[in-house]
Copies of this chain bind each other. A is one copy, B any other.
Amino acid sequence: MAHHRFSPTGYHNVLGDRDPVLRITDGDTVTTTTIDAAGRDHESVERAPRPNPMTGPFFVEGAEPGDALIVEIQRMSPTRETGWTYSLLAPNVVDPEILPRLPERQRVEWAIDRNAGTVRLMEPPSAVADLVLPLDPMIGCFGVAPGMGQAISTATSGRHGGNMDFRGFAPGAVACFPVFEPGALFFLGDGHACQGDGEIVGTGIETSFEIEFTVWLKKNANHGWPRGETESDIFTVGNARPLDQALQHATTEMLNWLGSSFGLDPTSASHLLGQVVRYDIGNVFNPAYTVICRVAKTWLRKPDSALGWLG
């Protein structure tokens, strides 16, 4: 259960079979840094091209296809005092008829105050005298190599994770990815200081971070899609277009999980989900959209496993 510190010297714009930057083991913790979605580091120096340059990949000893990689997000600390967003709703989240009436999209800056725990729009429009929001960090893009020789752009997402932009992937949350390649090959980046549901301006508040995470292996997991856990909930993630299909993937993965880990046959799982399920929209901006299917732990019995709820 070592604690590694890793400073990246290069970045990747795909999740794929790339040379590992560090070999780690079940139970290890890593502290590393990420640059922003446009490739800017803690000094706002451009280190890599778009989209979403990734730190990694980390090779997890013993990880084999069919396993699952569990990643606990321990901490996210912004490493600079500014972040940026786009200034306008993305074209695909509003009725197309209104697009000709909207102003042009611009890139705007936000001030990050780590002590106050806030982000503040630096040059607000006059209609917004002062826009101060909570500093609420999350990971926009992370995941593993997708296998089969694929190298998938960090602009999109899939069964392997990727650019899901779900604001629930925040410190304290645990993510879990199906493993497709030996060593899993874990990548991360695209940190946001804050983001609403759907990433509907096409960005969160994009900035650079120091991130600390811990990994575990679940052997022979045979998961189909990313899963996760917060203090109160378990959840599954579907990535596809339209949202309808993303929701189908997430719901099917939850149905499978309720069966294999919680002993609920499809009818029992349906009785529960029908009345207590919650859905969240991760993003409706990227090539693949993201829907989360979530169930409160209060309705379930914790599995008798060293890996707890994800076991």
Contacts and interface: CB of A to CB of B under 8 A. Distances in A.
Interface in A230-256: 240-245, 247-249, 251-252, 255
Contact of A12 (B104, B149, B249): B149
Interface string A112-143: 00000001010011011001010000000000
A12 to B, nearest CB: 7
Contact of A94 (B86, B199, B255): B255
Nearest to A295: B196
Interface in A252-311: 252, 255, 263-281, 284, 289
A35 interface: no
Contact of A99 (B100, B128, B201): B100
A13 interface: yes
A274 B89 contact: yes
Contact of A152 (B150, B270, B271, B277): B150
A183 interface: no
A46 interface: no
User: How often does this chain occur in the complex, in copies?
Assistant: 4
Nearest to A147: B153
A286 to B, nearest CB: 13
A148 interface: yes
Chain A, interface SS category: mixed
A276 B269 CA distance: 32
Nearest to A256: B98
Contacts of A91: 96-97, 99
Interface in A177-217: 194-201, 203-205
A61 B2 CA distance: 50
B153 A151 contact: no
Contact of A128 (B16, B201, B255, B268): B268
A88 interface: yes
A89 B96 CA distance: 12
A248 B94 contact: yes
A151 B148 CA distance: 10
A264 B245 CA distance: 31
A244 to B, nearest CB: 5
A37 interface: no
Contacts of A99: 91, 96, 99-100
Contact of A201 (B88, B121, B199, B274): B274
B240 A241 contact: yes
The 7 closest A-B pairs by CB, nearest first: A201-B274, A91-B96, A243-B243, A196-B277, A242-B242, A151-B151, A127-B268
